[in-house]
Amino acid sequence: MSTSLFLVQGPEAILADRAVEQVVADVRVTSPELEVVTLRAEGYEEGELTVHASPSLFGEDKLIVVRDLHQAPDALQLDLLSYLGDPEESVTLVVTHASGNKGKKVLDTLKQAKARVIEVPAIKSDRDKAEFVGHEFRRARRKAEPEAVQALVEAVGKDVRELASACQQLVDDTTGVIDADVVERYHGGRVEATGFKVADAAVAGRTGEALRLLRHAVNVGVDPVPIVAVLAQQLRQLARVGGAGRGRSADLARELGMAPWQVDKARRSLQGWSGDALGRSIQAVAAADFEVKGGGRDPVYAVEKALLTITRERNGG
């Protein structure tokens, strides 16, 4: 494996950035005066790599980062292939490639040259996001309760980079164990968190609380669309877990692409639900989804009607 050639491969941008930063930090341990150059696929001009890879007049080591090989023009690909045919000893080359077949010949050549490959897979599922959050807190040597991880994913989980920033904020601004109350204090007012609160109340059959939370959300400017999306997600998870049978939460989580805490939460919420009631509730939310996205005259009334259906079905009636 070459210690002067690196391939950062995968679509998760924040992990790719960290991988590049780590390579730079590692090389700087033995080369404090390291010169770092970043070349991007967009706007690349023929010969740039060759110019930057040429030996320095003063003999300093260089590290060249080539970003976005998956978008690279022919000129950049040809320059990379030429460089890899005769790499400079004083240069460390780091290439990032998100996905796709573009740049495949360069990828193959890097691997044949025994470049160190660093995988940065996409973080998509809630289970992946929960693992990411847990890792963020462990990196910072902070303990976080599972309920806090769950609450943070629910509140900020749409964007991984934003999720990382939220973890860092909690690390910087708090002390001790990070629990659900701390997350609620910092992120409980988020649109996503509001949607989960409405959905939790509805799925539990608490009609008054669900309607109160919905009206409060609307009064502070929350759009009904994400609330309906969370309702649909919660009900689908109940249906999937209910149909999956018994087994360890961790095993079912892997099978269903969920986080273990989501399986546990769904199992608790399933008490009092029948399969038919879940089906009718899912249909009601689908109708509300159509109305809040322009198919109806009153989006808020559409969500209220769906909530009333869900709580009625949950309560047997």
Average pLDDT on 167-172 reads 94
- Using a pLDDT cut of 90, give the percent of the chain over it: 70
Domain boundary among 90, 119, 148: 119
Number of helices (H) and strands (E) in the chain: give both, helices first.
Answer: 15, 5
The CATH number that applies at residue 33 is 3.40.50.300
What share of the chain in percent tops pLDDT 70?
A: 97
Do 38 and 18 sit in the same domain of this protein?
Answer: yes
> Are residues 212 and 308 both part of a single domain?
yes
Whole domain around residue 92: which residue ranges?
A: 2-119
Whether 23 and 95 map to the same domain: the answer is yes
pLDDT confidence of residue 317: 67
DSSP letter at 125?
S
Q: Which of 102-106, 196-200, 277-281, 311-315 has the lowest mean pLDDT?
A: 196-200
Residues 147 and 246 grouped into a single domain: no
In a shared domain, residues 103 and 22: yes
Dump strand ranges (E) for 89-211.
91-97, 115-119
243 and 135 fall within a common domain: no
The pTM assigned to this predicted structure is 0.71
Q: What's the mean pLDDT in 290-306? A: 89
What is residue 49's predicted lDDT score, i.e. its pLDDT?
Answer: 96
Only one residue has tokens 């608790």, namely 268
Query: Residue 235's domain is classified under what CATH number?
Result: 1.20.272.10
Amino acid at 249: S
Q: What burial letters (b/e) apply to 180-211, b meaning 16+ CB within 10 Å?
A: bebbbebbeebbbbbbbbbbbbbbbbbbebbb
Which of 72, 93, 119 lies at the terminal end of a domain, its last residue? 119
Which residues touch 223 (CB under 8 Å, ≥6 apart)? 191
Neighbours of 85 (CB within 10 A): 9
- pLDDT tens, 20-39? 999 999 999 999 989 999 99
Could you read off the pLDDT of 106-145 as tens digits, one per residue? 999 999 999 999 999 999 888 899 999 999 999 999 999 9
CATH classification at residue 183: 1.10.8
Query: Do 211 and 296 belong together in one domain?
Result: yes
Lowest mean pLDDT among 177-181, 251-255, 275-279: 251-255
Q: What is the pLDDT of residues 68-90, one digit of tens each?
A: 999 999 999 999 999 999 999 88
Residues 142 and 216 in one domain: no
Q: What is the pLDDT of residues 182-216, one digit of tens each?
A: 998 888 777 667 888 899 999 999 999 999 999 98
Helix (H, G, I), strand (E, B) or coil at 140: coil
Same domain (yes/no): 220, 175? no
Residues 18, 76, single domain; the answer is yes
Confidence bin at 179 (pLDDT 50/70/90): very high
Confidence of residue 262 (pLDDT cuts 50, 70, 90): confident
Choose the final residue of a domain: 89, 119, 149.
Answer: 119
Domain count, the chain: 3
The whole-number pLDDT of residue 2 equals 62
Q: Do 47 and 151 reside in the same domain of the chain?
A: no
